[in-house]
Structure 1
Amino acid sequence: MNPIINLEGKVGLITGIANEKSISTGVAEACAQAGAKLIITYQNEKTRAFIEPVINRLGVEDVFLLDVTQPDTLDAAFAEIEARHGKLDFAVHSMAFAKRDDLHGRVVDTSPDGFALAMDVSTHSFVRLARKAEPLMEKAGGGALVTMTYLGSEKVIPHYGVMGLCKAALEAATRYMAAELGAKNIRVNAVSPGPLMTRAASGIAGFDGLMAAAVDRSPLHSLVTPEDIGALTAFLVSDAGRLISGGVHFVDAGYNVMG
């Protein structure tokens, strides 16, 4: 374990694990290795079955239902966190969704309902999570919120469609909430990984080409892994990252700097 990343005594919420290859799986593993007490959420009973191996491997005892389209589940999850721990030191938001037609189609053709759904699940859910976490982080004397974004927020990525707009709004929310919550010693950051094959990425047409381009054009000629993302996230939520807030932090072998 790298001694600079020490999460002993900290309680952290990890959302968005879909299976063992998820970005959030790498985050959970890195935080657990650094000594954090983890809380993991699942969207429904079907998804829980897929993440059971992760829960068992990490020895996570607190596993709660959380479907951001169902407000009652958010309320219930945070009520349980408060009852069991009385505080929350960090929370990781890794959720996104858009209808297939809105993801693959032109932005100008996005339906009002499709746009609203994508923004609600992919962006405003982070705002709602932050609002629920705020009082529990105050009790901890401060905390850290981290969300997952992507380069499609600032560059046009083929077949990324409305999700690019959602990620741009997500990064803006990160900056605004960092400014609003800083007085309470709550830091807010976004992590922007390079392309990697996850269940969510498998729904993006031509994603294999994006990964090949990342290897070819990035300065380090390498694909990012969930473990790489986990290492950066664990650093950001640790005391080592205590003065880092409001930023978008790339872990993509340098691909984002290339023209």
Structure 2
Amino acid sequence: MTAKTILITGATSGIGLALFELYVARGDKVIACGRNAQQLNKISEKAHQVCQFDVNQPNQIQQQLNNIDKLDVVIFNAGDCQYIDDVKHFEATKFAHIISTNLTSLGWLLEAILPKVKTNGQLVFVSSSATILPFPRSEAYGASKAGMDYLANSLRLDLAAENIDVTLVHPGFVKTPLTDKNDFNMPFLITSDQAAKKILKGVNKRQKYLHFPKRLTLLLKLFSFLPSSIWQKLMTNNNKSKGLNT
């Protein structure tokens, strides 16, 4: 198999780091992007290139990605999750931060990266199964990921003429530094390595849509077909349901 050039954002932890290790082991040239200089330094010897930037800083993005190679696959994986804990005292600053980090930043990344994606290349958006149904406290996180979904699906239409495929990923609960902060039960929790292997397999097949673990995602899809009054009651009556960071 010919080595590919893969760019991964959020490559220093969780799913991004697991994907980095899988692609490196396969012999691909991986450009690891992240905010944490110390963590990037740890993986720099394995990486084809490292790019340190904060996704909320467009100037840093442009500067770091200006001289990268032509790309076969780009995996948009960087993100953050914070919950709106007191909805009557809505935290606009927190909301804006999550929208910027998870959604607005994709515009700056696409501006810098899309011209470098080869014909027959592929974009991969790591979103969340939180977009299947609305969850308590997830106004910011869910809205940002729903926006990512629409962006990915719209890009798929416009990039077809460029022979660039788009893959949208809906993971369920994955054990990462983000989910380690969750204070609620996470059913069907899987490891970052398990999630990365599923993503790699789906990306290799150039699938348009991936969702896993199906025990969770299919259940959420089933609930989504119920009348809203039913699943809303289930959500609001469950005192343990405090959000969904996947």
Asked if TM exceeds 0.5, the reply is yes
In the TM superposition, 1:52-201 aligns within 5 A as 52-56=41-45, 59-81=46-68, 85=69, 87-98=70-81, 100=82, 103-105=83-85, 109-137=89-117, 140-201=118-179
Return the offset for 1:142.
2.9
Supply the AA of the counterpart residue of 1:94: N
Q: In the aligned structure 1, how far is the partner of 2:22 from the partner of 2:131?
A: 26
Report Cα offsets for 1:32-91 as digits up to 9, x if no partner: 233210001121xxx2213444444xx11411112111111111122120xxx3x11111
Q: Does residue 10 in structure 1 map to residue 1 in structure 2?
A: no
Q: In the aligned structure 2, how far is the partner of 1:18 from the partner of 1:35?
A: 19
Q: In the aligned structure 2, how far is the partner of 1:224 from the partner of 1:55?
A: 27
Task: Quote the residue 2:18 is aligned against.
Answer: 26
Supply the AA of the counterpart residue of 1:252: P
Which runs of no fewer than 5 residues in structure 1 stay unpaired?
Answer: 1-5, 215-222
Report Cα offsets for 1:177-227 as digits up to 9, x if no partner: 111112111112221222122111233332xx11xx32xxxxxxxx32222
Aligned length: 220
Q: In the aligned structure 1, how far is the partner of 2:181 from the partner of 2:102?
A: 15
Return the offset for 1:233.
2.6
Return the offset for 1:107.
5.4
Return the offset for 1:29.
1.7
Return the offset for 1:253.
4.2
The RMSD of aligned alpha carbons is: 2.2
Q: Identity percentage over the alignment?
A: 20
Q: In the aligned structure 2, how far is the partner of 1:233 from the partner of 1:148?
A: 9
Check conservation: 1:181, 1:187, Cα contact below 8 A: yes
Q: In the aligned structure 2, how far is the partner of 1:53 from the partner of 1:64?
A: 13
Find the residue that maps to 1:89 and give its secondary structure: strand
Q: Which has the higher strand share?
A: 2
Find the residue that maps to 1:230 and give its secondary structure: helix
Residues 161 and 18 from structure 1, CA distance in 2 versus in 1: closer, same or farther, beyond 3 angstroms? farther
Return the offset for 1:108.
6.4
Residues 148 and 24 from structure 1, CA distance in 2 versus in 1: closer, same or farther, beyond 3 angstroms? same
Q: Does residue 227 in structure 1 map to residue 193 in structure 2?
A: yes
Check conservation: 2:79, 2:102, Cα contact below 8 A: yes
Which runs of no fewer than 5 residues in structure 2 stay unpaired?
Answer: 224-246
Return the offset for 1:130.
2.4
Q: Does residue 40 in structure 1 map to residue 40 in structure 2?
A: no
Q: TM-score, structure 1 length as denominator?
A: 0.76
Supply the AA of the counterpart residue of 1:231: K
Q: Does residue 254 in structure 1 map to residue 237 in structure 2?
A: no
Larger RCO, structures 1/2 (Cα 8 Å, 6+ apart) = 1
Q: In the aligned structure 1, how far is the partner of 2:191 from the partner of 2:132?
A: 22
